[in-house]
A and B are shown apart, each in its own frame.
Chain A
Amino acid sequence: MYDVAIIGSGPAGLSAALYTSRANLKTLVIGKDRGALEKADRIENYFGMAEPISGCELVENTRTQARNLGVELIEDEIFHISWENGFQLEGKEGAYEANAVLLATGTGRQTVKLKGIQELEGKGVSYCAICDAFFYRGRQVAILGNGEYALHEMSQLLPVVQSAVLLTNGEPLKVQAPEGVQVIETSLASVDGQEYVEGVTFTDGTSLAVDGVFIAMGSAGAAELARKAGAMINGRHIQVNEGMETNIPGLYAAGDCIGGLLQISTAVGEGAKAAMSMIKFVRTVQKSS
């Protein structure tokens, strides 16, 4: 078990890792990519940049710095977080356990804006298959997604539903759909239903009757992971206090996923604050065990 698991290897996540590792906490950083900095050609407004460097270079420098301090960095995509005497993280490559978790995955870039989605949330539109599959026993559902995350959500649904359809909403399918699962790549126009989800309509005018639509576009963002764990979120942003603590003891969030000023300097500062809180939390857990 790790003392600290950090999901996201951008400025907030890596900054926190530097502090927790230096405090001698066994620290794991799980990253998927370089995040928003991948596309930043020149960083000119950050402390100490006499000569601008690229976002990639800045992240790589910090990764090396973290590794040198003993931080374990791995590449994986996390689909689910639950907690029971510590946190369990479920990823594509494996499962991880930690006493404290920091969500620092940046902002979700793959938000789905479709007529009907917001209005029908909790009335057939779901963001968590493992949480809500129970209510769709013997029913027809659609999973909106095109990657590993969609497959993960589908694997939770297939054992209980009558049928499941994968809708990519015009995006190319990046994975192999399970045998027998219908895939529709046409773009969607709306999710329909008066009081509850009754179906979806495509941009070509055709429609499909379903009782539920599970949203799993792209990868699970911080807000989805937080929601699954039971953290309070406000729109797309995770609610935290000054110490970057969510409402769940041991779960923290920092960086773009909590909103505010989306800058490296803020993310680095929030990562440091989260680290201080995590160090205190893990020390308490260690004392009581």
Chain B
Amino acid sequence: MEIIEITEQNFEKEVLNSDIPVLVDFWATWCGPCRMQAPIIDELAGEVSGVKFAKLNVDENGSLAQQYRVMSIPTLIVFKEGKVVASAVGLQSKGAVKEMIGV
């Protein structure tokens, strides 16, 4: 499945109103650990169905990062029916991300 780029404009539609759970990777270009997290998410997106994978650049979407109290990146948040059901701060292994999304 393709990874969706989340912005302040499409957040509601793609995340809050999504019919399936959404994993959002909060990242920034200057964050070393984020660059290691990205390929893990890419790999999972290619393997797992029934979950939407998305990434959100905190530099460009500061208000969303603030709204969800992101204070360190990478932060991964899983949304289900518009609500936060799981979150993790810091680089997560593939196994840990799978656990977060329940696969």
Residue from B33, B34, B71 having most chain A Cβ neighbours under 10 A: B71
A230 near B34: Cβ-Cβ < 8 Å: yes
Option from B33, B35, B69, B72 in Cβ contact (under 8 Å) with A126: B72
The total of chain B residues at the interface (CB under 8 A) is 21
| A229 / chain B contacts, CB cutoff of 8 Å | 32-33
| B15 / chain A contacts, CB cutoff of 8 Å | none
B33 near A131: Cβ-Cβ < 8 Å: yes
| B75 / chain A contacts, CB cutoff of 8 Å | 122
Chain B stretch 16-66: residues in CB contact (< 8 A) with chain A: 28, 31-37, 58-59, 65
Q: How far is the CB of B37 from chain A (nearest CB, A)?
A: 8
Residue of B nearest to A135 (CB): B71
Convert A218-245 into 0s and 1s, putting 1 for each residue whose CB lies closer than 8 angstroms to a CB of B: 0000000001111110000000000000
Option from B31, B37, B58, B72 in Cβ contact (under 8 Å) with A122: B72
A212 near B71: Cβ-Cβ < 8 Å: yes
Q: How far is the CB of A223 from chain B (nearest CB, A)?
A: 12
Q: How far is the CB of A142 from chain B (nearest CB, A)?
A: 14
| A135 / chain B contacts, CB cutoff of 8 Å | 58, 65, 70-72
Option from B65, B69, B72, B93 in Cβ contact (under 8 Å) with A131: B72
Q: How far is the CB of B96 from chain A (nearest CB, A)?
A: 10
Convert A127-141 into 0s and 1s, putting 1 for each residue whose CB lies closer than 8 angstroms to a CB of B: 010011011100000
- Cα distance A83–B34 when bound, in Å? 12
- Cα distance A229–B90 when bound, in Å? 12
A232 near B93: Cβ-Cβ < 8 Å: yes
- Cα distance A135–B67 when bound, in Å? 12
Q: How far is the CB of A137 from chain B (nearest CB, A)?
A: 9
Q: Known: A82-B32, A131-B31, A135-B65. Contact between A230 and B91, CB under 8 A?
A: yes
For residue A42, CB closer than 8 A to chain B, the reply is no
For residue B89, CB closer than 8 A to chain A, the reply is yes
- Cα distance A230–B27 when bound, in Å? 13
Q: Known: A122-B90, A123-B89, A134-B58. Contact between A230 and B71, CB under 8 A?
A: no
B71 near A228: Cβ-Cβ < 8 Å: no
For residue B73, CB closer than 8 A to chain A, the reply is yes
For residue A96, CB closer than 8 A to chain B, the reply is no
B72 near A227: Cβ-Cβ < 8 Å: no
Option from A83, A131, A136, A212 in Cβ contact (under 8 Å) with B73: A131
Residue of B nearest to A212 (CB): B71
- Cα distance A134–B66 when bound, in Å? 11
A-B contact pairs, 7 of them (CB 8 A): A123-B69, A135-B58, A135-B70, A212-B71, A227-B91, A230-B33, A231-B91
